[in-house]
Amino acid sequence: MADSPRTHVRPAIRFLRDLGLSFPRLEKPLWRIPHPLVAHMQKTPDEVRAGGAEPIRSLSDRLWWKCKTSGLRAIVTRLTPAELAALGLPESAAWWGGAAGVRRDDSASDFYRQLQAEALRHGRGTGKPSTSHLLPQRVDADRLKAETVAMAVEATRTMVIGLVARSLMDGKSYAAILSEHIITALVRAEDGGEAYLAIAAEGFIQPRMIALILSAVPGLNESDWQAEPGSVSDVKPKEGQIIWSAVISPDIQARILELAETADEDL
């Protein structure tokens, strides 16, 4: 199974609980949680490929690798195609951090010794350790799926804001492809006054997508938008294209530019 060019290691629910962490808001992917151990274990896939990762031999039912940083420890594994399929996960979600803890060398309470004892308990009666309980669970799969949807929504909003902001600055129309559809934004503004905003969508777009696109513009509600049956400035309707328009105040214009600048800083 080939790795994705962008391989990320996601912390499973057990990993988060071990560190006293909880799920962040959906727009924040788990692998970007601001924690040194989460950040450090992103190196594990490359270390494994290079032959430099240290396997945990006491957890012999599957391959786990050690992740060490300062006084913290973690274990990382890679799911098989069958395991991914069972959870309905994509190939890009193969790498997971299963558990985390504190280093206590030469002590029965050391993280890796505790995990070995825990795995032996879970494998009792089989004659070998079992770490299946440390693998991602259904809640982890559900979180990833919800996160993917939320990030797609956030990306759509960012794209729309970016198009409107660019047009607001120079009065030209700008377009982008969204799910095989073309979204165009055009702003006609007067210095210091209200501006006329037109957003065109080309192709068949579901009502929910239309609502998402229009709601990306801050300070406007559904009643502020109207469908334009004819052409608006140099945005001319094509077959299968609809244009919506709204008037945006100077305050809304300022907010759009602020959001666009923030999005650029986050990249």
- Residue identified by tokens 């560190």 is 19
- H-type helices in the chain, by residue range? 13-18, 36-40, 44-50, 81-87, 111-122, 138-170, 207-215, 250-266
Q: In residues, how long is the chain?
A: 267
Query: Does 50 score more than 80 pLDDT?
Result: yes
Q: pLDDT band for position 119 (50/70/90)?
A: very high
- The answer to whether the beta carbons of residues 186 and 193 sit under 8 Å apart is no
Q: Give mean pLDDT, residues 154-169.
A: 94
20-39 confidence digits (pLDDT tens): 999 999 988 999 999 999 99
What does the pLDDT read at residue 201?
86
Query: Does 235 score more than 60 pLDDT?
Result: no
Query: Does 267 score more than 60 pLDDT?
Result: no
Q: Give mean pLDDT, residues 217-227.
A: 92
- Domains of the chain, by residue range, sit at 10-136, 148-266
3-class state of residue 110 by DSSP: coil
What value, to the nearest 5°, has the Cα angle with vertex 246 and ends 188 and 240? 95
- Residue identified by tokens 């902001």 is 165
* Domain 148-266 grouped into CATH 3.10.28: yes
- By the 10 Å C-beta count (0-12 exposed, 13-18 middle, 19+ buried), 123 is classed as middle
Query: Does 75 score more than 60 pLDDT?
Result: yes
Answer whether 0.85 is exceeded by the pTM.
no
Across the chain, mean pLDDT equals 89
What does the pLDDT read at residue 2?
43
- % of the chain residues with pLDDT over 70: 90
What does the pLDDT read at residue 6?
66
- Does 201 or 146 have the greater pLDDT score? 146
Q: Give mean pLDDT, residues 171-176.
A: 92
Q: Give mean pLDDT, residues 156-176.
A: 94
- By the 10 Å C-beta count (0-12 exposed, 13-18 middle, 19+ buried), 264 is classed as exposed
